[in-house]
Every structure is written in structure tokens, then in C-alpha cells.
Amino acid sequence: MAEADEKAQRALERAAAANALSRYQDGLREAEAALQLDPSLEAGYGCAAQAQIGLNQPAGALELARAGLALHPESEWLNRAASSAARLLGSKKEALAFAEEAVRLYPEHSVGHNSRGRCLEALGRRAEAREAYELAIELAPENASHHQDLGDLLLAFAPAEAASVLRKSLELDPMSAVAHNNLGVALLKLKRPEEAALAFKTAVRLDPTLKVAKENVHLSVSGLLGKPVAIGTIILCVISAARLVAVAGAAGLFIVAIAIVVAIAFLSMRQGKRTRQELDPDLLRLYDQIDADLKAKRV
């Protein structure tokens, strides 16, 4: 029995390490191995559910979290995991109930309050969501994701404040491509298109797979150069973002809003035409590459 317990603990350690590195398939495999050795392990269910969420399999994550909660109803971690999975599945009220239980169980944990904020935002309860995010920041001011979530919320109605909060997030985690992209959207709303285009460029350089950032580079630079953009390109931006809704819940809806904001901002930017010589050379190289890819339907 002691040997089995030791093997299970080692598997859990490997699962946690794999999840931390976003190697979710490995994390899931190791967590399942731990549960085979000891089906009562709270951390086994938690690591497995976390991996399932990372693999965009929220239904499996919710099933695992519920199975764990049947054994460990007072688990803050499993309630949080269940909340995230339910939110991604569109079960907003259920997600909030799980998040509120997590906060009740561990009120000093910033991540629980942040999770509750995401649920409230998904339900359209912005003021309460803001309070939850701000409490999470108060509890863990060095957590970049808490600042980013607050900035994303503010983007819809307070772009100047959103830009400030997103810059704080980037001070803590300058490698976040999504935060750079969303900062670009805030700058567009503040009518600072050149700074916005550079933020979009940074997002793409950090994560070349971030499709919405590529499309935002193309739209913003086209606007600066006064070039016409086919309505199909703008629609593509919205549609490609909309595909994220199925796997990202409220976050996907937020990116859809970003795409729409960029499309609208593009129309107003055409009033301030620039020449190619006035723009950042690296930005232009990236724009030309994306433009060619769009024409060849590679984006």
C-alpha cells in the first residue's frame, strides 16, 4: 500500500508539472494514473480536470470535478474547476454557484474571487464582476491574470482605464500576447491607432498563432495607410473570433467584441492616412506578410 501511495504521489507531481507547462495531455495521463492507484485523491481529480480544461474539453472536466466533489465536497480547488468547466459550457448560473462555494471555502484565495468575477461578467453583472476582480487584485497584486481580466472587463466601457490596467498586467507578464492584443484594442478606442498597431504587432511576434491579433494588425495598418479592406476580411475577423466562443465561453464573446471594435475603428482611422515611410518598418513587414497570407487564404 505504501508503495502504491508513493507511486500515486509521484504521478500527481508529474501531472502538476505538466499542467504548469501547458502540456495538458501529459498532465491528464499522469493524473489518471494517480487516480487508478488511489481513486480517492482530491488532487488527482483536480489535476485531471485542469488538464481537460486546458485541452478544451470542459464536459470531461466538469464530470471529473463532480466526481471529485462527491468524495471531497469541501474542496475549494474542485469547486473552482467545476466553475471554470461549467462557464465554458455556457452554464453560467451553475458556474457562479460553484465559484461562490469556492470563495466561501477559501475567502483568502485570490483565484477564487477572480473565477467568480469571470462568472459574473459572463452573466452581464459588470459592477459585481469589477468588485470581484478588484478583490482578487487586492489579495494578489502580483498576479498578472487578475489585472488582465479586470482590464478586459473595463475595455467595453472605460478604455482609458482599461489601457492603464492592461499596462500593469504587462508589467507583471510582458510575454502575454493576449494582453498586448487587448491593449491595442483599448488604444484604438482612444483614437491612438499607431500605438494600437504596434501593440497588435507585439502580440503576433509573441504568439504567431494568435489569429485575431494578425487580423487586427492587418485592419489597423490598412486603416493607417488608407487602404480599402474587403468587407469579407472584416467579417472573417468576426467569424474567426466567434469560433472561439465554443471553447472559451465569456472570453470568446469578449474577443468577438474586440473584432467588432477593430472593424468599426478601422472606418474612423481612414481619416488619418499615413505613408509607408512614416510607419514602423517591422510593422510593415508583418503587415505585408499577413496581407499576402490573407490573399492566399492562409490566415
Report domain extents, the chain. Answer: 1-56, 183-299
pLDDT greater at residue 228 or residue 288:
288
- Find how far residue 218's CA is from the centre of its chain: 22
d(CA 204, CA 193): 17
User: Do 85 and 58 meet the contact criterion of CB atoms below 8 Å apart?
Assistant: yes
State mean pLDDT over 100-107: 98
pLDDT value at residue 271: 52
Take residue 248 and report the three cell numbers written for it.
472559451
- Dihedral sign of CA atoms 183, 184, 185, 188 in order: positive
Q: Kindly give the residue spans of alpha helices, DSSP state H, lying in 106-209.
A: 110-122, 126-139, 144-155, 159-172, 177-189, 193-206
| pLDDT at residue 198 tops 90 | yes
In whole numbers, what is the pLDDT of the chain averaged over residues? 88
Cβ partners under 8 Å of residue 133, min gap 6: 113, 114, 117, 146, 149, 150, 153
pLDDT value at residue 255: 55
Give 286-292 contacts, CB < 8 A, sequence gap 24+: 286/201, 286/204, 286/205, 286/217, 287/217, 287/218, 287/221, 287/222, 290/204, 290/214, 290/215, 290/217, 290/218, 291/218
pLDDT value at residue 242: 35
Which value, in Å, is the radius of gyration of the alpha carbons in the chain?
A: 21
State mean pLDDT over 241-251: 40
pLDDT greater at residue 141 or residue 266:
141
d(CA 53, CA 277): 45
pLDDT value at residue 20: 95
Cβ partners under 8 Å of residue 43, min gap 6: 12, 16, 34, 77
| pLDDT at residue 196 tops 50 | yes
- C-alpha distance from residue 80 to each of 14, 144, 150, 250 (Å): 21, 19, 19, 16
pLDDT single digits (tens) 269-283:
555 578 888 898 999
pLDDT value at residue 200: 97
Q: Which among 280, 119, 270 has a CA at the least distance from the CA of 199? A: 280
User: Do 186 and 159 meet the contact criterion of CB atoms below 8 Å apart?
Assistant: yes
d(CA 88, CA 118): 11
